[in-house]
Amino acid sequence: MGSEKPLLQFVPVSSFVQPSFWNKLSELKINVDRLNDHEREICGFFSNIPSTWTTHILEVDSTSFNSSFNAQNNCVPFHGKIFNKNTIEQFKDCDKTELINKEGRRFLDDLKSGKILEKPSMLNFFFILSFSDLKKYHFYYWFAFPVPHNLQIILNEVSLISDRLSESQLSTLTEDYLQLNFYQKPYFLFHENKIHTLQSKLLEISEKNYGEYYFAFADYVNVGKHPKSQLCEESVDLNLKLMKWRLLPDIDLDKIKNVKCLLLGAGTLGCSVARNLIGWGVRNITFVDNATVSYSNPIRQHLFNYEDAVNNKLKAQAAADNLRKIFPAINSQSHQFTIPMPGHNVSENTTDLVKKTVEELKQLIQNHDMIFLLTDSRESRWLPTLLGIFFNKIIINVALGFDTYLIMRYGRQTGDGDQSVESDATGLHKIPGTELGCYFCNDVTAPGNSLKDRTLDQQCTVTRPGVSSVAGALAVELAVSITQHEEGINAPAFYKIGPQSNINFSEEQAGILGIIPHSIRGFLSNFTHVLPATPKYNQCIACSNIVLEEYRNKGFEFLLQSFNSSKHLENLTGLSLLFVDSNYVDVLEIGDEDWES
Ligand SMILES: [Zn+2]
């Protein structure tokens, strides 16, 4: 028993029908076919996904009716037919065995006549028997995948392609393969270091020389140098694809995948935001932080472990490294520096260093699409707020209190200072996305050095452990919602004064994932959220046109003046020292070094 040679095995295929397939079929039935129920040629796409995923899916959508394939990455074409019956009785009474046999015989004829040699992808074959009840919009269907009966291929020897071919042979193979026509890609021949189509070589093969040929078929599972990580990447995408298939057919996953995220702060919030971003399939994440992992961190900061603390690793570096351990396909980078802040004096001999740091931050902001402000002090958010708005980036600010949190998106640089708030008949107010306020808009004083003159217990504000996870998750959901709104960063915010529970947003006020509030304030003490919105404050020390213009004209000189004295900002914008927003005190995470000093 044990010495018996294994057989080549085939995976069963499952079908998945995109709603757009039925839309197209209905359209064709009504406008073209009408009562004609002749067969129609269609095509499907087979995603050869790893065996850890128990089903292998053949997908059909509206493009299945096109006369030629839409080439898709990592998809194998399947040729098919649809027999769409006129009545439910015809659908039910159709002799399926007879249909399979008939199609099987035709398939055999195509094989014998050489027709399949021209398009080897025709070896992948399926058909659908269906009835569409267009009045009720009900679709009845049955998929069939006819395969040759009793076909047994014994595996004499199994070895890796890399054991048989040299590296240069492999690279030739890859290059040749990419040149192949879409129909030739699933099945081909490899002979004397070259790829050949079945049609061009098959007749030359005889019993004497067949050992010199490799009969090859595309198995997309093992594409790439790191098969396992490739599997992982495809599985991750499939999870998101299932969400698209089942719930959100209009969602644009590529927009999310390609967004470049800059996380300023790699502490509790940075870790939480990063984990939620990769959940959405985001591939590009850059961390900025200047702290190292301390023993107290791994408990609440989900990307770190005990070893990181023992080795005193830099947080940004450890976060980027550990993210790759979770998901190898991620492009995670790290930068180490402290963000210059207003009221934190820059001495003459550190001016060059601060200038360099500002330049580095500026480059990072320009090179990313989405900026998350997750640092542990209010004043460290000032410079990235200003720069992010200056470069019109999507900015998400997250701040924590003991049992409260604030997530806020910012407006952008508009130049016209038009701060109109419109209201509709239901009492719903609307602020254009461009005109939304920032974290500093409610301040009537510029941020100073919050660490000065404070004892340790005053410096460290403790939060309930769940606060950062909840806030980090909401921040990512808000950010992803923005990518799916047709107006993106310009998506308007709607709000209502008074009780929030009875707000009814119309469909056009929402994006694919729902409404996009300006801010979300959450309170764990009573587990509620409110969604306030505020327009830009024209004297804001971070986002007002006065400040943006000053930066445009004076650049680093203006920033340096602001670092050296926060009064500079107050004088510039005309703020007077009246009031400090005390709802969101600066949250500092306790590091061991604080206790030691
Ligand atoms: Zn502002």
DSSP codes of every residue in 133-174: ETTTTEEEEEEE----TT---B-S----HHHHS-HHHHHHHH
Positive or negative, the CA dihedral 233, 234, 237, 239 is: negative
Burial class (CB in 10 A: 0-12, 13-18, 19+), 247: exposed
Residues 318 and 370 in one domain: yes
Residues 119 and 208 in one domain: no
pLDDT value at residue 415: 52
Residues 407 and 263 in one domain: yes
- The three-point CA angle 59-245-32 to 5° equals 60
Tokens of 455: 């004892």
pLDDT value at residue 593: 41
Number of domains the chain contains? 3
Residue 265 belongs to domain with CATH number: 3.40.50.720
Residues 194 and 92 in one domain: no
- C-alpha 547 – ligand 1 centre gap (Å): 10
**How far apart (Å, rounded) are the C-alpha atoms in residues 41 and 35?**
17
**In a domain? residue 288:** yes
- C-alpha 122 – ligand 1 centre gap (Å): 61
pLDDT value at residue 499: 62
- C-alpha 388 – ligand 1 centre gap (Å): 12
**In a domain? residue 230:** no
Q: Give how far Cα 251 sits from Cα of 215, 276, 279, 385, 486, Å.
A: 40, 17, 15, 29, 11
Domain span at residue 209 reads 161-218
CA 11 to chain centroid: 29
- C-alpha 536 – ligand 1 centre gap (Å): 6
Residues 244 and 353 in one domain: yes
pLDDT value at residue 203: 79
- C-alpha 390 – ligand 1 centre gap (Å): 12
Residues 240 and 363 in one domain: yes
The 3-state secondary structure of 293-316, one letter per residue: CCCCHHHHCCCCCHHHHHCCCEHH
**In a domain? residue 432:** yes
- C-alpha 386 – ligand 1 centre gap (Å): 9
Who's near 51: CB < 8 A, 6+ residues apart?
Answer: 11, 221
Q: Which residues are the active-site residues?
A: 460
Q: Of 99, 114, 144, at which residue does a domain stop?
A: 144
Residues 86 and 119 in one domain: yes
**In a domain? residue 224:** no
- C-alpha 382 – ligand 1 centre gap (Å): 10
- The three-point CA angle 379-383-384 to 5° equals 110
Confirm if 512 and 486 have CB atoms less than 8 A apart: no
**In a domain? residue 213:** yes
Residues 251 and 341 in one domain: yes
Who's near 98: CB < 8 A, 6+ residues apart?
Answer: none
Who's near 139: CB < 8 A, 6+ residues apart?
Answer: 17, 22, 25, 130, 131, 132, 133
Residues 335 and 303 in one domain: yes
- C-alpha 435 – ligand 1 centre gap (Å): 10
**In a domain? residue 590:** yes
- C-alpha 540 – ligand 1 centre gap (Å): 5
**Other Cβ atoms closer than 10 A to 267:** 26
- C-alpha 442 – ligand 1 centre gap (Å): 7
- The three-point CA angle 151-154-158 to 5° equals 135
**How far apart (Å, rounded) are the C-alpha atoms in residues 493 and 516?**
6
Over its length of 597 residues, how does the chain's per-residue pLDDT go in tens digits?
445 777 877 767 788 888 889 888 988 888 888 788 888 999 888 765 554 444 567 888 888 888 777 665 567 788 899 999 989 999 999 998 899 888 888 888 988 888 888 888 888 889 999 998 888 888 899 999 887 777 788 877 777 777 888 888 888 888 888 788 778 888 888 888 888 888 888 778 888 888 888 888 876 554 444 456 666 676 677 778 777 777 888 889 989 999 999 999 999 999 999 999 999 999 999 999 999 999 999 999 999 999 999 999 999 999 999 999 998 889 999 999 999 999 888 998 999 999 999 999 999 999 999 999 999 888 899 999 999 999 999 999 999 888 899 999 998 887 555 556 677 666 778 888 888 999 988 765 556 555 444 444 444 557 899 999 999 999 999 999 999 998 888 898 888 776 655 566 666 677 788 889 999 999 999 999 988 888 888 888 999 999 999 999 999 999 999 999 878 888 888 765 434 443 444 444 444 443 333
pLDDT value at residue 223: 45
pLDDT value at residue 142: 92
B/e letters for 574-589, b = 16+ CB within 10 Å, e = fewer, are ebeeeeeeeebbbbbb
**In a domain? residue 153:** no
Residues 194 and 253 in one domain: no
Torsion angle (degrees, nearest 10) of CA 262, 586, 573, 345: -90
Q: Where are the beta strands (DSSP E) in 410-472?
A: 422-423, 429-431
Confirm if 250 and 282 have CB atoms less than 8 A apart: no
Residue 46 belongs to domain with CATH number: 3.40.140.70
Question: What is the 8-class DSSP label of residue 240?
Answer: H
Angle between helical axes of 556-564 and 545-554 (0-180°, round to 10):
120
pLDDT value at residue 20: 86
pLDDT value at residue 505: 67
pLDDT value at residue 504: 66
pLDDT value at residue 227: 54
Residues 250 and 278 in one domain: yes
Q: Give how far Cα 60 sits from Cα of 41, 42, 68, Å.
A: 12, 9, 14
> Which of 369, 328, 325 is closest to 236 using CA atoms?
328
**In a domain? residue 71:** yes
Residues 406 and 437 in one domain: yes
**How far apart (Å, rounded) are the C-alpha atoms in residues 280 and 308?**
26
pLDDT value at residue 588: 40
Q: What is the largest CA-CA distance in the chain?
A: 95
- C-alpha 275 – ligand 1 centre gap (Å): 28
